[in-house]
Amino acid sequence: MYLRHSRSLSIKKIIPREGWFAGIACCSTVIALCNWIVIARTLDPGIFGMYIFVQWIAGVAVPFVGVGASTLASSRVACIQGREAPRMIAGIFYFLWYRQCRCILLYCLTYLLLAYPLFVIFGICTPLLSLLAGLTILPLLLSSIAGAALRSLKRVDLLATLQLLGTLLNLLLALIATQLHGYQVGIFLLTHALASTLTLIMGIICITRLLPMRAAIPPGSLIKKRLLDGLHCSFRPFLLDTIVWQHSEILLLSLWHRPTMIGFYAISAMFSCGVLKFAPSLYSGWIIPLLQHYFPQQHYLNPYDAFLKNSCYLTFIAAPTSITIMLFSSTIITMSLGSSYLPLIGPLRILLISAAFGSIATMSLGQLTDKNSARALLWLNTGAACANIVLAVPLVALWDMSGAALASCCAQMISAVGSIILCRNLLKKNAQQKEND
C-alpha cells in the first residue's frame, strides 16, 4: 500500500471521494453496532448467546458454499466482469445468478439434513432456530452476485449506499421487534432476513437500471471458464481462516458451558473484530488521502521502505486504540449493554491484544498476496490453527471463555507476527537484490 500521486485525477477530487466512502463505512459500522446493542439489551445474555451461535453456525460455511460469497472470489468476478461490455456484464450476471440459485438449493438441503444433528450435538441449536438462521443467509448469498456486478460497473458508491441503507433497515426493524411479544429470538432472525431481502431488492432495481438486461449476451465458454476459475475456493485456506480468525473455539464453549458464556464471548469477539478493522480502515480511508493532499512530494524509496513506514503508522493507530478500550472497557460495557454483561471484560481485554497485532499485519498480508507467497502463508496459518486447537481444549476446560480468548489470542498473534516477519524478510531480500543489480 504505497502513497501514489494520480496524474489523471486531481488531489481535490480524490479527497472527497475517499473521505465519502470512509464516512459511509463508518456510519454503517456504527449503525450495525447500535443494532447489536439493541438486540443484546432486549435479550438476556443466555438467549443472546443462542442467537449469536445459530447465526455463526449458519454463516461459517457461506464463503465456501456460495458463488462469490468470499471477498477474494467477489473481487475476481468483478474484475472479469469489468473488462466486458454492458450487455456481456448482464449476461454474466444472469449466469452467476442461476448458478447461485443452484448453490442455494444445495445449501438448504444440506442445512435441513444437519438441523437435527446440530441440536443433538450442541443442545442450544434447536431445529427451529437453525432454520430461521439459515433463512437470514439466503439473501446474502444473492447479494454477493449483485455486489460483484456493481463493482464491475465501478459503482462502489452505490454499493456503499446500499450497505448503509441495509444497516438502517436492520436497526429500524430491530427496534420494531423490541415492541413485539413472543419468541423474540425468532423475531430478530426474521427481521434480519427481511432487512437483507429488502436491500437485495433495491440492489437488483439498481442493476436493472444500469444494465441492458433484456439485451444480455450469454457468456461464452472461455469467459465461463475464467469465471469458474475465479470462483474456485481452496478448502484448506478457508478452514484455516475459520479456525484462526473466525473464533471457532466457540464450538467448545457451546459443548461444555452455558449459553450465557457464548453470549459474553461472542460480544467480546465482535468488539475485537471491530477494533481489528478500525486502524486499516482509518488509515486507508482518511490518513493516506490527507498525506497525499498535504505532502504530495512524499515518496517511498522501495516496497520495503513503504512496508516499514506504513506498519509503523498502523501501530500508532491500533495500539493506542486497543489500550484505551482496555482501560475504559467497564465503562463502555456498562453504558452500552448494561451491568449484566460485565463478565465479558476479561475475554475482551485478551482479544484486544491480538486485534492490535492483526491490524498491523493487514499490510503484510496484502504484500504477501501480491508477492505470491501463498505457500509460506499457508504453512504459517496451519501452525496457528494447530496451536488454536491444541490450546483451546485444555484452556476452555479450565477457564471457560477466558481460556477460549487466550487460545484465540495466541493463534492470531502467531499468524499476525509470522506474516509480518515473512513480509519483512521477502521485501528486504528483494530490495537487496535490486541494489546489487
DSSP for 55-73, written as a single string = HHHHHTTHHHHSTT-SHHH
Q: Domain locations in the chain?
A: 20-232, 234-437
Contact between 377 and 368 under an 8 Å Cβ cutoff? The reply is yes
Contact between 359 and 281 under an 8 Å Cβ cutoff? The reply is no
Q: What is the pLDDT of residue 14?
A: 38
Does the pTM surpass 0.85? The reply is no
CA angle 61, 63, 64 (to 5 degrees): 70
Task: Tell me which residue of 257, 346, 258 sits closest to 47, measured CA to CA.
Answer: 258
CA angle 104, 176, 48 (to 5 degrees): 65
Q: What is the pLDDT of residue 410?
A: 92
Highest mean pLDDT among 98-112, 269-283, 287-301, 409-423: 409-423
**Residues 215-242 as b or e (16 or more Cβ within 10 Å = b):** ebbebeeebeebbeebbebeeebbebbb
Quickly count: other Cβ atoms within 10 Å of residue 402's Cβ.
21
Q: Quote the cell numbers at residue 424.
A: 519483512
Give me the mean pLDDT over the 127-154 stretch.
85
Highest mean pLDDT among 60-69, 141-150, 250-259: 141-150
Task: Tell me which residue of 394, 384, 292 sits closest to 14, measured CA to CA.
Answer: 292
pLDDT class of 201 with cuts at 50, 70, 90 = very high
pLDDT class of 278 with cuts at 50, 70, 90 = confident
Give me the mean pLDDT over the 246-251 stretch.
83
Q: Angle formed by the axes of helices 184-210 and 127-152, to 10°?
A: 20
Q: For the chain, percent helix, then strand, then coil, each to nearest 5?
A: 85, 0, 15
Q: Quote the cell numbers at residue 80.
A: 472479469
Q: What is the pLDDT of residue 11?
A: 33
pLDDT in tens, 388-431: 999 988 988 888 888 889 999 999 999 999 888 888 888 777 77
pLDDT class of 1 with cuts at 50, 70, 90 = very low
Contact between 78 and 152 under an 8 Å Cβ cutoff? The reply is yes
Contact between 203 and 162 under an 8 Å Cβ cutoff? The reply is yes
What torsion, rounded to 10 degrees, do the Cα atoms 113, 118, 119, 120 define?
Answer: 100
Which residues, at least 6 apart from 399, have a Cβ–Cβ distance to it below 8 Å? 406
% the chain with pLDDT above 90 = 10
pLDDT class of 247 with cuts at 50, 70, 90 = confident
Distance of alpha carbon 75 from its chain centroid, rounded?
14
- 84 pLDDT more than 90: no
> Which region among 5-9, 78-82, 433-437 has the lowest average model confidence (pLDDT)?
5-9
- 3 pLDDT more than 50: no
Q: What is the pLDDT of residue 76?
A: 76
Q: What is the pLDDT of residue 10?
A: 32
Question: CA-to-CA distance for 362 and 379, rounded, in angstroms?
Answer: 18
What letter does residue 297 receive in the DSSP assignment? T
Q: What's the chain's average pLDDT?
A: 81
Q: What is the pLDDT of residue 16?
A: 45
